[in-house]
Structure 1
Amino acid sequence: MQTVTKAQLWTGRILSGIAVLFLTMDGVMKFVAPPEVLQGSEALGYAADRLPIMGTLVLTGVALYLIPRTSVLGAIFLTGFLGGAVATHVRVDNPLFSHVLFPTYVAAFIWGGLLLRDARLRVFLPFAKARSTPVESERGITTPHLRERTAQ
């Protein structure tokens, strides 16, 4: 059985925590709307009346991600949201590494943290070896692998 080591668990929690803190701050700032946020949103082509909608979306994704039973759904939801952020930065011709790819870095923290915390998700990685034994997650849930080793 593949289990999550203590180091993997804590590394995953830290990566997830960094992403959650950033996205929570982003969502809250959409509601607080200080002048800097209003100016930045306007420069990206978003009117001030759209900020609460965007804040609600990102905070909903964060809430889903924080609940263990819906964490994968939250990661998928946030990945879509962050994909829209990449598209927005490309559209306004922002710098590549500091602006366009920043949402990709956040998504990597989201998925990396989740993969480190939950061994069941590692089955879906294309470079993972097929196993004939079940996988145990951090919550003690055992799930059989999707693929069996071929008999030789």
Structure 2
Amino acid sequence: MAHTTTIPAPAKSVRLTGRIISIIVILFALFDAIMKIIKNHYSMEGSVALGWPASQVQFIGFVLLIATILYAIPRTAVLGAILITAYLGGAVAIMIRVAQPFWFPVLFGILTWAALYLQDNTIRGLIPVRKD
């Protein structure tokens, strides 16, 4: 017989913390995506300096915007988190390639999943943290 463990629902304060982290992730990602979509001078300059052709920066912004919208919708938040993680993986690779610090996209990815972990029992079941 298989052993199943019931995961208790997170406390309200834990869910609230997760929601606040999600909002921070969403706001930052929306800002980044919109700056790329509107071809903001600083966003374009930074992206080109990292090796992106200027003609692709706007498309990258749309990719991030779609992933962020999916993340913001509770029913599709996990899919959004997966897509944001993929986006951030590319950011880490680019930063390593140009010998720049890559801690921010790593931290941002951790926050993306930590927010869901704090709010969602399904995620808690997939990523168990044990006391033993």
Same fold by TM-score greater than 0.5: yes
1:16 aligns with 22
Q: For residues 39-50 of structure 1, what are the structure 2 equivalents within 5 Å?
A: 39-50=45-56
Q: Does 1:62 align with 2:68?
A: yes
Number of positions where the alignment pairs a residue of Structure 1 with one of Structure 2: 125
Output the TM-score relative to the length of structure 2: 0.89
Q: CA RMSD in A?
A: 1.4
* Cα drift, residue 38 of structure 1: 1.8
In 2, the alpha carbon distance for the partners of 1:42 and 1:65 equals: 27
Pick the aligned partner of 1:84 from 85, 90, 97.
Answer: 90
2:3 aligns with none
Alpha-carbon spacing, 1:67–1:7, altered in 2? closer, same or farther (3 Å):
same
Provide, for residues 47-102 of structure 1, a one-character-per-residue CA deviation record: whole Å limited to 9, x for no partner: 211011101110110111111111111101110000000000000111x3xxx110
In 2, the alpha carbon distance for the partners of 1:88 and 1:122 equals: 31
Provide, for residues 84-129 of structure 1, a one-character-per-residue CA deviation record: whole Å limited to 9, x for no partner: 00000000111x3xxx110111111110000101122111124347
Output the TM-score relative to the length of structure 1: 0.77
* Identical residues among aligned pairs (%): 39
Pick the aligned partner of 2:123 from 121, 124, 133.
Answer: 121
Structure 2: segments with no counterpart, 5+ residues: 1-5
* Cα drift, residue 36 of structure 1: 1.5
Structure 1: segments with no counterpart, 5+ residues: 130-152
1:74 aligns with 80
* Cα drift, residue 34 of structure 1: 2.3
